[in-house]
Chains A and B, each alone.
Chain A
Amino acid sequence: MSMNNQGRPTGVGTSGFASTSGSALLPNEPLLFEIGDTEHSGVDLPDAIITNDRLGGFERKSPLDLAGLTEPEAMRHYVRLSRLNHSIDSGMYPLGSCTMKHNPRLNEKMARLPGFSDIHPLQPVSTVQGALELMNELSHWLMTLTNTAAVALTPKAGAHGELLGMMAIKAAQDAAGQSHRTVVLVPESAHGTNPATAAFLGYTVKPIPARADGTVDVQAVKDALSPEVAAIMLTNPNTCGLFEPQVIEIAKAIHDAGAFFYCDGANFNAIMGVVRPGDLGIDAMHINLHKTFSTPHGGGGPGAGPVVLSEALAPFAPVPFVRKGSDGLELVEHEEGTALGRITAFQGQMGMYVRALTYMLSHGGDGLAQAAQDAVLNANYIKARLAHAFSVPFGDYPTMHEALFDDTFLAGTGVTTLDFAKALIDEGFHPMTMYFPLVVHGAMLIEPTESESKQTLDRFCEVMEELAADAKAGNKERFTSAPLKAPRRRLDETRAARSPILKWERPADLPQAAE
């Protein structure tokens, strides 16, 4: 083979960006289209000879114009880019509601066994019995930890799980002649996905206000109930980090009214192995494998959101699912009776099933409970250490897996929650979740997870205390100008939205390589 080794221009980007080397370890990395060109490739492939093509005249005539990189160039481009990211492995990542726990590498190793990674979703079921066993085993763990009757593994993410759970509720009610139920109750503290999911399915969303202590009052639920209510979507532990103390009464009120209880399981990490949601009266709950069961967040997906179902909803699980057959395990791939059909091609996020089960087996039932307790211990430790310097919106009682503060402590300083978060970046921490939940002003939601050592928590708390003191002392500039030490200063999001630039355009002075 011959290699093209012509020099290439390193182009000027769409906003007049000139490639400079940046600082020693924080390069200003050009775009791949400014490094590569259409001639270069990092993959050696023979040029096939096709004598009698079957393309029917549909061949490509328009140029692809895709830049290629040789292997060393690609390696360097993606390594340099990666250094611009904060990650769990490089530092604490206390994003509330996201459960950024350690991602064990054994999970990755197992997911890459060819017996899992190199099997096709449509090869004969007789040739993938081990995969079905794994799905069965994972299902057993999920049902055992939640005390539920069934689990639908296929949802691709938490929000996809919500969609499925609410579809199952809708299917069950339609089957029971209850199609007049068109209202879904959603507490104000819910994730945005809850109302979006309900609306997606044509439901009218009726908000339930939070009590002064951040939890849902069973009386408020009862007051909102009517013959039109199909379900409540309740997050427990809720997004303020609190366990809903009246959850059993709420479930009973919902059931007495002929409605279903959908639980958003985003915060299951706080109670796994300690409390079983099925004992609380839930009918459906999605579990984010990428939160509770440590499958990697990957810069934003892929997630996985299996949904556990109560006895009442079990018949409405989607296909496919695994069942014991006469000849080993079988994969049920077609609608039977009242199942609601299929919500994704194939069998869902198998790669994540492998990782999650690996994690479960590593911890065992005892280790999972210990992890949940440590997660709760860590959040309470942060809350206790910082209560004197920050403002705690909800009472003086224990929190669950995350600590919530509001921005009252910043009153009169001119520093916002956003500014405060950006200053935390300069101290080497990923900021907490900001401005969520919406039920408190300028929310700061901190979820340390069980993965953080006491030493790290102490350091984090010291930094937080120091920042709070500095804000109160009037050093506003430190906050409004932050971050100063990140690869970029504060980015102009308004500009990005006003005139969107969503892809690289070839500058006029950088011609495409001759075809």
Chain B
Amino acid sequence: MRYLPHSEAERAEMLGVIGAANVDALFSAVPAKALKSFDLGLPAHSPEFLVEAHMKALAAKNHAGSDGPFFVGAGAYRHHVPATVDHLIQRSEWLTAYTPYQPEISQGTLQMLFEFQTQVAKLTGMDVANASLYDGSTGTAEAVLMARRLTRRNKVVLSGGLHPHYRDVVRAYLKDDADLDCLSASPEGQGDILDHIDENTAAIVVQTPDFYGHLRNIKAAADAAHAKGALLIVVITEVVSLGLLEAPGALGADIVVAEGQSIGNALNFGGPYLGLMATRKEFIRQMPGRLCGETVDAEGQRGFVLTLSTREQHIRREKATSNICTNSGLCALAFSIHMALLGEAGFTRLARLNHARACELADALAGVEGVEVLNKTFFNELTIRTAQPAADLVERLAKRGILAGVPVSRLEPSNPEVTNLIVLAATELTTDTDIAALCSALSEELA
């Protein structure tokens, strides 16, 4: 087998040094009835080209984003990733290193994390960011738990504009908790969360742009939360929006959670993704996840280490702030490289381009008979109401090779009010031709 270095002669020689008659002797602690007592019935080892053929055949059964007009967003976005990014993250020293437990020989990873934390803090307008979490949805659940620890209150209110999957993850994390107030979906963008804050509220969770694409008034939410001693958690699923929209930190957010997939990371059918989390400096000891900090070495040279790990499970065990034991290192690296390539100038241009494309999409859709655009505000994503049920319509468009967005009913099957709604996203990759193809297909299907 090509990945295994030993020859049979070497195995025999090693067994001799160990003083074992055969390999089975090394498994002597295993109860006899459980050791190799089966035939797995799995295929035998295979040469590289056959494995490749098998996987390519599976991949060929999927419609890739590049195969036609593409408007699917709703928490994961199809952006262009510069070739440099994917080249660099496949370098051995990035790809095959692990958690920087030995900082003296992990300064690459550590300095990158320090740079990444700086980028995320600047983007969000917050004091500090951690070294990343699994993704935006689990990050949101962690933020809710963090807010409860900070306020010693229990009640949490989730805005009706929060991504339904994120809401479901928070619900699963707080399973037996009657103190979770999930407001019903608000496709029209009406803000109703401010009336739900009281003296027992630990935090309110507001997404902007929200699931339906509306931009939310973060300042008003922050003021209302703070007036009652509650915290504001801001969730962002499209991190590119921060190139054009005011940073939540400048508007009073206490914890910001974002999905960072848009920068540097492919769609990958949903993972691996990148959870970003940033907060105020007074809250860092309750923040979950890894943190990288600056220090000096024995010669006074600047260097970096993982720090404040007394919050973490390997030190605190059952008293840890979270059971999280990793970050999304390679996804954070991809994000950081892509963000460094963009810089402020490129990131701003990227955001403007996304908004411009979405404006073109909205205006074109508004001209289609049987389509109503619900949004007055948006960044690069918006919701339409169609004259026919959305799920079937999206399916018919897919048969024409157009991926027209996400029927909201797929995420909210028990809500009859969303039956005819589709959420669509445009990015820098969306062309005029794509928009024209979508609109003409919609016109035909709705005629």
Contacts and interface: CB of A to CB of B under 8 A. Distances in A.
A binds B: yes
A497 B305 CA distance: 9
Which 10 residue pairs across A and B have the least CB separation, nearest first?
A: A68-B343, A115-B59, A346-B270, A130-B61, A298-B330, A365-B42, A121-B270, A302-B272, A89-B92, A41-B346
A55 B215 contact: yes
A33 B271 contact: no
Nearest to B105: A86
Interface centre among B176, B247, B294, B347 (most CB of A within 10 A): B294
B398 interface: yes
B62 A126 contact: no
B75 A17 contact: no
Given A344-B134, A344-B135, A377-B15, A351 B272 contact: yes
Given A67-B343, A381-B18, A422-B104, A354 B55 contact: yes
Contacts of A7: none
B86 A384 contact: no
Main secondary structure of the interface of A (DSSP, over half): loop
Interface stretch (B21-29, B191-199, B225-233): B21-29
A122 B398 CA distance: 12
A508 interface: no
Given A66-B344, A334-B413, A487-B104, A29 B45 contact: no
A340 B305 CA distance: 38
B446 interface: no
B206 to A, nearest CB: 13
Contacts of A160: 134, 138
A287 interface: no
B350 to A, nearest CB: 6
| Residue of B3, B64, B101, B375 with most partner-chain A CB within 10 A | B3
B58 A296 contact: no
Given A115-B64, A299-B99, 6 more contacts: A43-B341, A275-B35, A380-B18, A425-B102, A454-B5, A502-B294
Interface stretch (B120-128, B152-160, B178-186, B432-440): B120-128
Interface stretch (A221-229, A242-250, A466-474): A242-250
Given A128-B63, A358-B51, A398-B20, A82 B108 contact: yes
Nearest to B291: A502
B59 A130 contact: yes
Nearest to B33: A279
Given A43-B350, A116-B62, A297 B323 contact: no
Interface residues of A, number: 212
A367 B45 contact: yes
Interface stretch (A105-113, A307-315, A409-417): A105-113
Given A49-B356, A106-B51, A276-B34, A54 B118 contact: no
Contact of A121 (B14, B17, B76): B76
A85 B325 CA distance: 20
Given A47-B349, A123-B63, A65 B122 contact: yes
21 contacts: A39-B343, A48-B356, A60-B246, A74-B340, A100-B98, A102-B3, A115-B59, A131-B62, A196-B317, A273-B40, A297-B96, A297-B329, A301-B328, A302-B272, A358-B51, A361-B46, A380-B20, A385-B17, A431-B102, A488-B297, A502-B121
Given A89-B96, A497-B308, A363 B1 contact: yes
A86 B166 contact: no
A433 B302 CA distance: 25
Among B35, B55, B57, B135, find the residue whose CB has the most chain A CB atoms closer than 10 A.
Answer: B55
Given A77-B340, A347-B269, A58 B215 contact: yes
B5 A451 contact: yes
Given A121-B267, A364-B46, A398 B17 contact: no
A492 B296 contact: yes
Contact of B242 (A60, A71, A202): A60
Given A114-B65, A122-B406, A127-B63, A500 B307 contact: yes
Contacts of B148: none
A47 B274 CA distance: 28
Instruction: Give the residue among B23, B249, B316 with the most A Cβ atoms within 10 A.
Output: B23
Given A55-B355, A130-B62, A276-B38, A42 B31 contact: no
Contacts of B55: 110, 113, 116, 134, 354, 357-358, 361
Interface string B78-103: 10001010101111111111111111
A248 B34 contact: yes
Contact of B100 (A43, A300, A452): A300
B128 A502 contact: yes
**Residue in B137, B273, B341 with the greatest tally of chain A CB atoms within 10 Å:** B341
Contact of A68 (B128, B313, B344): B344
Interface residues of B, number: 209
Interface in B358-397: 358-359, 362, 375-379, 394-395
Nearest to B99: A300
Nearest to B125: A62
A189 interface: no
Contact of A503 (B28, B117, B329): B117
Contacts of B316: 192, 196
Nearest to A35: B340
Contacts of B102: 86, 421-422, 425, 430-431
A450 to B, nearest CB: 6
B135 A144 contact: no
A68 B341 CA distance: 6
Contacts of B344: 38, 63-68
Which of A205, A271, A361, A385: most chain B Cβ within 10 A? A361
A177 to B, nearest CB: 14
B271 A350 contact: yes
A112 B217 CA distance: 39
B339 interface: yes
Given A100-B98, A345-B163, A245 B31 contact: yes
A265 interface: no
A299 B169 contact: no
Given A68-B345, A351-B268, A60 B244 contact: yes
Contacts of A90: 92-93
A210 interface: no
B234 interface: no
Given A42-B84, A89-B96, A488 B301 contact: yes
Contact of B284 (A68, A123, A196, A500): A500
Given A33-B118, A84-B111, A118-B78, A454 B326 contact: no
A192 B350 contact: no
B30 A275 contact: yes
A38 B343 contact: yes
Given A81-B111, A345-B75, A377-B23, A66 B330 contact: no
B3 to A, nearest CB: 6
A406 interface: no
A98 B66 CA distance: 37
B324 A46 contact: no
B42 A364 contact: yes
Given A351-B268, A362-B45, A31 B342 contact: no
